[in-house]
């Protein structure tokens, strides 16, 4: 039992209005915890609170009752006996009449009625008593918003959980609810009231029962809210949006057919509104109500609904912009909007509900028939006036939806319109015979009527979609299906020739589009109901392939034909139509594969690759055949490059490899390609390298090698560990055969200074083209392997990569970083390779040969002395290239460590920082023109320091060529944030205390690389960095080579200025920020810098006026120059910024 004194203190703390909300909440939690843990019983609590629950002081009584109610809210699953629940419910019910303490009574009633049966529930009689007291005593609309919300929640709970208890209240309940919800305006309360009406309808479902006499009153209350016009108030944190309210009201509208006499006329009337959202809501509500009210009640509104739908489609399209771009050709250039979509959805719903009635209205409609009569007057797309195009498109939409609604509607629409359209085109049933008739020749020689062509395509498309989407046809619809099939089949051959004729006459883009679409539709009917024979299917494929191979200069036709071939291939593959698949494979796939192996120069090679990669996406089987042909073309061209040094073959190989690695391989991987295909390419490449003694290619070698490395990385990355093991064993066996790479010497090496590094350097200097390719392709394999893939002779490979990266082979450094990232540790118990762990590899890198031997490579002698980290970097100051290469390699090693969160990254960053701080004498060093050695030293050191600063960009930026998830890197979450938090306390004092301007500029450069790639949320917590960031921007402003870094850093500043937390730091440094930004407005080297700087000044205008008012003249003077900027984007932002800052002049002059 809790101490009485302690409990009273807690109660007093909650009841007292002088306590803060947090103190009151803490007291409530403490009391609830006492009851929950059985330290205090509910009965004991009520006894202790008696004086508060019955006090004559209104405030004390209200707070006491609220406390008791909130305690019950906190204990929903606390078991309570029936007597206690009854006593508490009775008490709270009585308090409903006490309007001074109403909130606590509502909270208490709700808490008790929401309890589950396992913890003890309120009885039906108690619930009925609460409902009766509620109805008799509460005037809901006179209450505040929160109390009204509680009232509605109570009504909702009564109707949902105690329907049998409240149903006997009958008229009194319905009238009381009507009175309570009438004229409600609060969004949260409205969501509840709409649901309450649904529950009330569910409580009294009899259409001729109690609810019938109140239905008019209920809908009068509901109807005044339509359409919902609700704007989310600025500054209010409400989860309720207009769409939520609209959906809730729609559900209430359609909850009972009794609302039909009131709802449908209202919705039809609102369709004439000038507000677009009112039209959309009306159509959506009509759709929902049509479904719920049933065909009998909706029949009398059929004609009015049809006229409204037709008018909505027409007017909505009339207001849309006419576009001639290919993406809108399907809609004759009209951009369909939400009103048109909802109108067509409603049309489909009413047709499905009452097929005969609405189809009769459509077929007999005067406007539709008039359009069909007038459309014959215009042969070409351009001849049709814009209003005619609009009406034609509207009819096409209506007929398409009508056809697609059901098999029955499809039959009736086709019977009514299809023969008529065929007659206008001059096609007849006899044209479909196997013998070519004179009419066919006439058809091929004349221009077809575009409007009729468009409507034919729309009908065929809707029929095809209906058939393709129907898994089974019910027995009662078999006859209708057969009628449709026979009708289309009888005209199929003529239609095929008509569509081909349209493409042959080179008409307007729209006619090309529908000619291609028509042929595609005829080719994509399911096999058992296809209206065309296999011979016509072949003709369609031949027509499209002719466009691909011959008419490639006609861009739109070419792209549409390729897209059609892809869609046809996907369709027949999905429906497993073996005969058509065989045709497609022979006429399309094999033909397209042959294009890349031919020397035919008439068709541009990029188009060949676009076609071959596009066709491959039709299906996996097609892609596997294409891959084989593509690989054969790659191997053949590589042989030409290796043996003869054929420059043309080198260029072709580059494009083939780009297509293979960027399009084909990712698609195969994403679509479940078999492992053998993924393994085949890298193995065959290594086989070709092995069979080639030496390469003849020299010109364009880098571009070809880069493409080969990229393809090798992607191919290996997609393979499983088992396949990767095979690839790397194959690659290593070829690598080990080269005499330029003394892997055996590396393997047997135990003391680092046993190796003659000068001799090894001479070998590397004299690498043949073959050796270079082998080395870099092997590095590509290592970059892409998975962590558990076994790399042979890891120590020897480490030595090889460390040696070769010093000579400028950057992929060797990237491979070194990948190995370090993926190696197993001793503590993990799993090793990356059998002969080396991560700890051993790091010992090799940091304590043995790589950095100590740099001095030997530079000076031409190996003295064998050991050096510290700083001395290691300083010892190479007389050889700039080796320094730069070593720093680049170490940066990739550091990146591998950083990604996996290894502590050794500290040693790497220490080396870089020591290098940046290595020589503060640069400003004072005298120039000695007579000394070549001194001039070389002065030229050398800045470039090395710049490389050390740029190493931080490699550490922080995301790489596409290695150490990413695609290449299976181990990446620890939040590694950038941790590195940022570690480096900022180190960099900040180094920058502030450094005396050398050049060294400080390099530190700023490193700072820029780190902060530019750090997530903004981490930067915002370091407000003190803003002055350094501004100094960094000023420093980067001086050199054109820093324009990209400048822009990245400016984006960080933009993020700070637009965030509430960042704005606090901006207020403190307002003068510095404005000075920096106004200096960047005229930055000449990058338009985005000027644009972003001005945007930042706009953000600054949102700061407190007292802080930024003194800078107004400075900003406006700088912005006035940007108004004449040569780039329109900058001028537009300048105008916006000027308007934002001119407000200060207007305010203060007023």
pLDDT digits (tens, 9 = 90+) for 1092-1138: 999 999 999 888 888 888 888 899 999 998 998 899 999 999 999 99
- 221 within 8 A of 182, measured Cβ to Cβ: yes
Structure tokens given for 690: 């092995």
Average pLDDT over residues 386-398: 87
Reported for 29-34, long-range contacts at CB under 8 A and 24+ positions apart, including other chains, are: 29/74, 31/7, 31/67, 31/71, 32/70, 32/71, 32/74, 32/75, 34/2, 34/7
The string of pLDDT tens digits covering residues 445-477 is: 456 788 888 899 999 999 999 988 876 554 555
Place of tokens 């396949």: 723
Poorest-confidence range of 205-209, 879-883, 1033-1037, 1139-1143? 879-883
pLDDT at 763: 56
Distance CA 678, CA 915 (A): 44
Average pLDDT over residues 909-917: 86
pLDDT at 875: 43
Distance CA 337, CA 318 (A): 11
Distance CA 614, CA 544 (A): 14
Cα separation values, 1117 from 918, 1078, 1145, Å: 43, 9, 13
Place of tokens 């023969």: 419
Give me the count of residues in the chain.
1150
Distance CA 227, CA 246 (A): 8
* 883/356: higher pLDDT: 356
Could you give the maximum distance between any two Cα atoms of the chain, in Å? 113
* 935/406: higher pLDDT: 406
Distance CA 794, CA 834 (A): 8
Confidence of residue 190 (pLDDT cuts 50, 70, 90): very high
Distance CA 254, CA 247 (A): 11
Distance CA 166, CA 168 (A): 6
Counting residues of the chain whose pLDDT is more than 90, the rounded percentage is: 48
Q: Say yes or no to pLDDT of 214 above 70.
A: yes
Helices H, strands E: what count in the chain? Answer: 61, 0
pLDDT at 336: 64
Structure tokens given for 226: 């339509």
The string of pLDDT tens digits covering residues 1011-1034 is: 999 998 888 887 788 889 998 998
Distance CA 526, CA 445 (A): 31
pLDDT at 739: 64
Is residue 675 left, alpha or beta, with left meaning phi > 0 and alpha meaning psi from -120 to 50? alpha
* 190/1112: higher pLDDT: 190
User: Which residues lie closer than 8 Å to 938 by C-beta, 6 or more apart?
Assistant: 922, 925, 927
The string of pLDDT tens digits covering residues 43-89 is: 999 999 999 999 999 999 999 999 999 999 999 999 999 999 999 99
* 284/506: higher pLDDT: 284
- 454 within 8 A of 514, measured Cβ to Cβ: yes
Is residue 229 left, alpha or beta, with left meaning phi > 0 and alpha meaning psi from -120 to 50? beta
The string of pLDDT tens digits covering residues 594-624 is: 888 766 678 888 899 999 999 999 988 899 8
The third-level CATH classification (topology) of the domain covering 1022-1150 is 1.25.10
User: Could you tell me where the beta strands, DSSP code E, fall in 860-904?
Assistant: none
Sequence spans of domains, the chain = 406-532, 739-1014, 1022-1150
pLDDT at 778: 94
pLDDT at 1060: 83
Rg (CA), the chain: 40
Neighbours of 264 (CB within 10 A): 22
pLDDT at 930: 35
């Amino acid at each position: 039992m809790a101490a009485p004194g302690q409990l009273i203190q807690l109660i007093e703390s909650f009841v007292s209005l002088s306590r803060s909300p947090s103190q009151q909440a803490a007291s409530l939690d403490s009391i609830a915890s006492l009851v929950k843990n059985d330290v205090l019983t509910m009965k004991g609590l009520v006894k202790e609170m008696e004086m508060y629950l019955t006090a004559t002081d209104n405030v004390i009584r209200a707070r006491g009752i609220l406390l008791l109610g909130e305690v019950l809210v906190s204990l929903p699953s606390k078991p309570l006996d029936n007597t206690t629940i009854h006593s508490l419910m009775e008490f709270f019910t009585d308090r409903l009449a006490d309007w001074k303490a109403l909130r606590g009574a509502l909270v208490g009633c709700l808490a008790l009625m929401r309890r589950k049966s396992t913890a003890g529930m309120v009885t039906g009689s108690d619930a009925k008593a609460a409902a009766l007291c509620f109805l008799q005593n509460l005037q809901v609309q006179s209450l505040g918003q929160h109390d009204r919300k509680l009232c509605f929640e109570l009504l909702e709970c009564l109707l949902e959980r105690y329907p049998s208890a409240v149903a006997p209240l009958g008229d009194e309940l319905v009238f009381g609810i009507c009175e309570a919800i009438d004229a409600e305006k609060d969004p949260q309360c409205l969501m509840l009231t709409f649901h309450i009406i649904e529950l009330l309808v569910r409580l009294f479902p009899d259409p001729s029962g109690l609810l019938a006499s109140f239905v008019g009153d209920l809908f009068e209350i509901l109807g005044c809210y339509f359409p919902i016009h609700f704007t989310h108030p600025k500054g209010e944190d409400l989860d309720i949006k207009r769409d939520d309210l609209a959906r809730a009201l729609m559900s209430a509208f359609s909850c009972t057919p009794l609302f039909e006499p009131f709802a449908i006329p209202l919705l039809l009337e609102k369709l004439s509104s000038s507000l677009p959202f009112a039209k959309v809501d009306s159509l959506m509500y009509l759709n929902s109500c049509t479904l719920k009210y049933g065909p009998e009640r909706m029949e009398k509104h059929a004609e009015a609904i049809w006229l409204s739908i037709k008018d909505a489609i027409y007017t909505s399209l009339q207001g849309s912009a006419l576009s001639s771009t290919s993406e809108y050709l399907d809609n004759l250039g009209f951009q369909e909007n939400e009103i048109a979509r909802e109108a067509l959805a409603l049309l489909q719903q009413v047709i499905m509900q009452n097929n005969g009635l609405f189809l009769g209205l459509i077929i007999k409609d005067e406007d539709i028939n008039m359009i069909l009569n007038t459309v014959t007057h215009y042969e070409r797309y351009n001849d049709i006036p814009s209003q005619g195009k609009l009406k034609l498109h509207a009819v096409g939409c209506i007929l398409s939806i009508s056809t697609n609604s059901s098999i029955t509607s499809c039959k009736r629409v086709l019977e009514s319109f299809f023969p008529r359209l065929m007659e206008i085109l001059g096609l007849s049933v006899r044209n479909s015979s196997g013998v070519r008739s004179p009419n066919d020749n006439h058809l091929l020689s004349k221009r077809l009527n575009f409007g009729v062509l468009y409507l034919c395509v729309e009908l065929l498309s809707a029929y095809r979609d209906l058939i393709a989407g129907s898994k089974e046809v019910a027995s009662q619809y078999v006859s209708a299906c057969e009628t449709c099939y026979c009708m289309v089949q009888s005209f199929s051959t003529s239609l095929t020739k008509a569509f081909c004729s349209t493409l042959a006459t080179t008409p307007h883009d729209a006619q090309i589009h529908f000619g291609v679409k028509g042929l595609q539709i005829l080719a994509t009917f399911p096999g058992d109901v296809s209206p065309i024979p296999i011979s016509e299917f072949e003709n369609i494929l031949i027509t499209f392939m002719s466009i691909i191979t011959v008419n490639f200069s006609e861009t739109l036709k070419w792209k549409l034909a390729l897209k059609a071939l892809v869609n046809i291939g996907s369709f027949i593959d999905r429906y497993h139509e073996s005969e058509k698949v065989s045709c497609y494979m022979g006429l399309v796939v094999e033909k397209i594969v042959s294009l890349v192996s031919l020397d035919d120069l008439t068709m541009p090679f990029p188009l060949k690759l676009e076609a071959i990669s596009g066709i491959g996406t039709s299906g996996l089987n097609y892609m596997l055949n294409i891959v084989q042909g593509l690989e054969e073309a790659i191997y053949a061209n590589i042989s030409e490059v290796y043996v003869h040094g054929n420059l043309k073959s080198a260029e072709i190989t580059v494009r083939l490899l780009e297509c293979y690695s960027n399009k084909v391989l990712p698609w195969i991987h994403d679509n479940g390609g078999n492992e053998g295909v993924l393994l085949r390419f890298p193995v065959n490449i290594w086989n070709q390298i092995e069979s080639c003694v030496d390469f003849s290619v020299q010109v364009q070698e880098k571009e070809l090698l880069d493409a080969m490395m990229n393809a090798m990385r992607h191919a290996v990355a997609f393979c499983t560990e088992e396949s990767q093991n095979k690839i790397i064993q194959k690659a290593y066996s070829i690598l080990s055969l080269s005499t330029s790479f003394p892997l055996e010497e590396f393997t047997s090496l135990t003391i680092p200074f046993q190796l003659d590094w000068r001799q090894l350097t001479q070998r590397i200097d004299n690498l043949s083209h073959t050796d270079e390719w082998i080395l870099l392709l092997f590095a590509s394999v290592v970059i892409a392997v998975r962590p558990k893939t076994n790399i042979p002779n890891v120590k020897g490979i480490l030595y090889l990569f460390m040696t070769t990266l010093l000579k400028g082979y950057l992929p060797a450094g990237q491979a070194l970083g990948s190995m370090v990232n993926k190696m197993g540790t001793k503590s993990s118990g799993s090793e990356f390779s059998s002969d080396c762990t991560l700890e051993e590899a790091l010992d090799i890198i940091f304590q043995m040969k790589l950095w100590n031997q740099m001095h030997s490579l530079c000076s031409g002698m190996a003295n064998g002395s050991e050096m510290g980290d700083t001395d290691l970097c300083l010892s190479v100051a007389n050889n700039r290239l080796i320094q730069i290469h070593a720093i680049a390699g170490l940066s990739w090693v550091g990146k591998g460590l950083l990604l996996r969160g290894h502590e050794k990254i500290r040693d790497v960053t220490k080396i870089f920082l020591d290098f940046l701080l290595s020589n503060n004498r640069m400003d004072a060093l005298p120039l000695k023109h007579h000394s070549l050695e001194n001039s070389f030293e002065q030229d050398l050191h800045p470039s090395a320091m710049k490389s050390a600063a740029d190493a931080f960009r490699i550490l922080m930026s995301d790489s596409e060529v290695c150490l990413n998830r695609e290449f299976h890197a181990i990446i620890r979450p939040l590694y950038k944030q941790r590195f940022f938090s570690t480096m900022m306390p180190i960099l900040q004092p180094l920058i502030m205390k450094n005396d050398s301007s050049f060294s400080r500029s390099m530190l700023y450069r490193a700072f820029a690389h780190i902060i530019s790639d750090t997530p903004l949320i981490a930067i915002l917590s370091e407000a003190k960095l803003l002055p350094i960031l501004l100094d960094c921007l000023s420093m980067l402003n001086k050199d054109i080579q820093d324009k990209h870094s400048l822009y990245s850093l400016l984006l960080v500043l933009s993020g700070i200025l637009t965030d509430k937390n960042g704005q606090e730091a901006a207020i403190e440094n307002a003068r510095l920020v404005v000075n920096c930004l106004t200096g960047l407005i005229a930055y000449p080297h990058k338009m985005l810098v000027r644009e972003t700087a001005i945007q930042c000044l706009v953000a600054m205008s949102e700061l407190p006026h007292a802080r930024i008012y003194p800078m107004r003249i400075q900003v406006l003077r700088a912005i006035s120059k940007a108004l004449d900027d040569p780039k329109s984007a900058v001028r537009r932002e300048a105008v916006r910024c000027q308007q934002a800052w001119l407000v200060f002049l207007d305010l203060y002059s007023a």
